[in-house]
Chains A and B, each alone.
Chain A
Amino acid sequence: SQQGEEDPQALSIQEGENATMNCSYKTSINNLQWYRQNSGRGLVHLILIRSNEREKHSGRLRVTLDTSKKSSSLLITASRAADTASYFCATDARGGSYIPTFGRGTSLIVHP
C-alpha cells in the first residue's frame, strides 16, 4: 500500500516559473523525504525533513511539513527544463521498521 499521495499527478509549466507539489500521508511519521526520478532511472534523494521541523531549504528547493494536516509541499523555484522528472514523497511510519513508503508521484514537465 502507498502511504503518501502526491498532488497533482501531473504538472506542466514554463521555464522560470515555480512548481509546487503536495504530499499527503496517513499515519504519524518520523520524517518525510522527497526524491526525484528521471525517466528510466533510479530515484535520487533531494531533501529530508524531520517530523519536528516545519520548513527546510536546499538551493532552489523548499519543503514544508504540517504534521497536524499530515501533509508536505515541495516548491521548486525558477524551474529549468532539466527539472523535468517525476517527484515522489516517502515517509516512514513512527514506531515501525525503517521502510520508506512512496507515493504515486507528480510528473513535472518544464517547457523551455
Chain B
Amino acid sequence: DTGVSQDPRHKITKRGQNVTFRCDPISEHNRLYWYRQTLGQGPEFLTYFQNEAQLEKSRLLSDRFSAERPKGSFSTLEIQRTEQGDSAMYLCASSPRDSSITPLHFGNGTRLTVT
C-alpha cells in the first residue's frame, strides 16, 4: 500500500521566492485536500479537488497561492513571492470517494521555512 506521498519533505527559501510542492495521492482516490499547519495548531483547510476540479478554496488561500490537479492524479501547490508568515507544514490528504464516512489519508507533509 503506497500511501500519500509529498515532495519535498523540507524546503528552505528566501522571502520573495516562489516554491512548488507536489502531492501524489493514493491511487484512485478522487478527492485530494491541501491543509496548512503551524506549530501547536491543528491543520487548516486550504483547498480540495474532486478529480481534476478544484471545488472549494479557503479564504486563507491568498492570490499568491495556486493549486492544480491537472489529470486528476497528482497535485501541485505553488506559493509565489513567499513571506515569512508562509512558514508552516503543508499537508496533503486524499480520500477514496465523495462521502463523509471515509477518513482522510495524509502524507507526511512539506515543511516550508521562509527566511
A binds B: yes
Which residues of A line the B interface, CB within 8 A? 2, 4, 30-31, 33, 35, 40-45, 48, 50, 88, 90, 92, 97-105
Chain B residue, CB-CB nearest to A4: B42
* CB pair B42 A88 closer than 8 Å: yes
With A42-B106, A97-B56 in contact, is A2–B4 under 8 Å at CB?
A: no
Chain B residues close to A by CB (< 8 Å): 4, 31, 33, 35, 40-45, 48, 55-56, 91, 93, 98-101, 103-109, 111
Q: How far is the CA of A48 from the CA of B100 in the complex (A)?
A: 10
What are 5 sample pairs from A and B whose C-beta atoms fall under 8 A apart? A41-B109, A90-B104, A92-B100, A99-B33, A102-B43
Q: Are B99 and A98 in contact, CB atoms less than 8 angstroms apart? A: yes
Enumerate chain B residues within 8 angstroms of A92, measured Cβ to Cβ: 100
Residues of A within 8 A of B42 (CB): 2, 4, 88, 102-105
Whether B109 lies near A45 (C-beta < 8 A) is no
How far is it, in angstroms, between the C-alpha of A50 and the C-alpha of B99 when the chains are bound? Answer: 12
Nearest residue (CB) in B for A42 is: B106
State which of B31, B41, B101, B104 has its C-beta within 8 Å of the C-beta of A50.
Answer: B101
Residues of A within 8 A of B108 (CB): 40-42
Cβ-defined contact, B101 with A31, below 8 A: yes
State the CA gap A44–B4 with chains docked (Å).
11
Given A102-B42, A104-B42, residue A43 in contact with residue B106 (CB < 8 A): yes
Contact B98 A104 (CB under 8 A): no
Q: Which residue of B lies closest to A94 (CB)?
A: B100
